[in-house]
Structure formats: structure tokens, C-alpha cells
């Protein structure tokens, strides 16, 4: 899995799988699109207005936690 973030547009994309086939983009809400293959496999999720979608803290940071390893990292989001 890979997460990309573009602070210029405040958009993130969560890659669940590499696209190996043509996908259809389904608009789930005004702030979320999902890329789905014909067999129902979800390839990725696009989040618009990501600082609200990912619950950035009051300082505009997204905190990513790997609970299995007890590690975390911070990503500065656009305010």
C-alpha cells in the first residue's frame, strides 16, 4: 500500500494495488473517489480536502502509526 499527498491541491491517493487493468472511478461522495476493476477489486481511493478526510490534528499534521512495530511518522498537510 502507498499513500501519496499533494499539498498544492490538498489531495491524497491511497494505492491499495498497482493498476494492472482498466479501472472505473466511482464517486462515493464529493470528497472521495474509488477506483474499481471489473471484477470488483479496489485499486485505490482518492481523497479530496484530505486534511479533513484524514483527520489532521490541530497543527495540520497527519500522524501515520504502524502499531505492529510501534513506529510513527508525521506528514505536514496544507492548512
> pTM of the full predicted structure?
0.72
Q: Is the pLDDT of residue 60 over 90?
A: no
Structure confidence by residue, pLDDT tens digits, 30-49:
999 999 999 999 999 999 98
- The answer to whether the CB of 37 falls within 8 A of the CB of 28 is no
Nearest to 46 by CA among 25, 23, 21, 22: 25
Amino acid at each position: 500500500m502507498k499513500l501519496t499527498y499533494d499539498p498544492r491541491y490538498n489531495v491524497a491517493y491511497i494505492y491499495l494495488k498497482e493498476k494492472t487493468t482498466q479501472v472505473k472511478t466511482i464517486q462515493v461522495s464529493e470528497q472521495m473517489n474509488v477506483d474499481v476493476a471489473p471484477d470488483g477489486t479496489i485499486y485505490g481511493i482518492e481523497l479530496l480536502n484530505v486534511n479533513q478526510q484524514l483527520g489532521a490534528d490541530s497543527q495540520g499534521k497527519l500522524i501515520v502509526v504502524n502499531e505492529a512495530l510501534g513506529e510513527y511518522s508525521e506528514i505536514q498537510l496544507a492548512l
